[in-house]
Amino acid sequence: MGASRTQVAMVEDDADTRERIALSIRQQDWLELAATYATGAAAFAGLQSDAPDVLLVDLGLPDMSGLEVVRFAAERHPACNVLVITMFGDEANVLAALEAGASGYLLKGSLTRDITVDIRDIRDGGSPLSPVVARQVLRRLQRPAPGRSEAREEEGETGLSAREIEILNAISRGFSYAESAAILGISVSTVHTHLKRIYGKLAVHSKTEAVFEANRRGLLP
């Protein structure tokens, strides 16, 4: 392995995603794919001694939360730059990953450029964030959570119905629209109708923003 090449390891259980990312990395002569892991346990074993320059971590692993891998890598190898690449865009996961030691957080659904651009960014000291995630972090810093009386007042004006909370809670846990509909015994079109109302009540434009805002107001269980 060339000493000047950036070593990248990946923790991702989806074979297609692994292959796409691996292909992008192999096309860059300044990068080397040092290791790939499909489970958290495999990552723990591989990271016991070897530390890549950049570690890509999916949070939705089959045997544990990727947050545990993030925390392990950050504590054992402080010089390793951890970049989360996941479907989970809710506030709880975003903040937990950053607090655990991740230096970047990208949503799989919003990747619009070659991942190697973000790998270079994080290697050079940057903190790549998907736009929605960056907005969440900024809003979290700029607008602290309301106190009890303020929260009650907001809930009175823009409170969600019991069904809307059920739908948003299912989505925040990573279920698709179809899965959420099946769980709640309603149609997918009904889910979409409720989501439109939720967006209006919370003054947001996406399900990720809706989950973040509902969490901020303490509306989700």
Is the pLDDT at 3 greater than 80? The verdict is no
> Which string of b and e fits 120-156 if b means at least 16 CB within 10 Å?
bbbbeeebbbbebbeebbeebeeeeeeeeeeeeebee
In this prediction, residues 175-181 reach a mean pLDDT of 82
Encode pLDDT of 81-130 as tens digits. Answer: 999 999 988 878 888 898 889 999 999 877 767 899 999 999 998 889 98
Q: Which domains does the chain have, with CATH numbers?
A: 6-140 (3.40.50.2300), 147-216 (1.10.10.10)
At residue 142 the predicted structure's pLDDT band, cuts being 50, 70 and 90, is low
> Rounded mean pLDDT of the chain?
85
Encode pLDDT of 155-176 as tens digits. Answer: 444 478 888 888 988 888 878 8
**Rounded Cα–Cα distance for residues 63 and 141 (Å):** 33
**Rounded Cα–Cα distance for residues 168 and 157 (Å):** 18
Res 127: pLDDT:
87
Encode pLDDT of 10-27 as tens digits. Answer: 999 999 999 999 999 999
Res 8: pLDDT:
98
Residue 131 structure tokens: 């736009």
- How many angstroms separate the most distant Cα atoms in the chain? 61
Q: Calculate what percentage of the chain has a pLDDT beyond 90.
A: 43
pTM over 0.85: no
Is the pLDDT at 154 greater than 80? The verdict is no
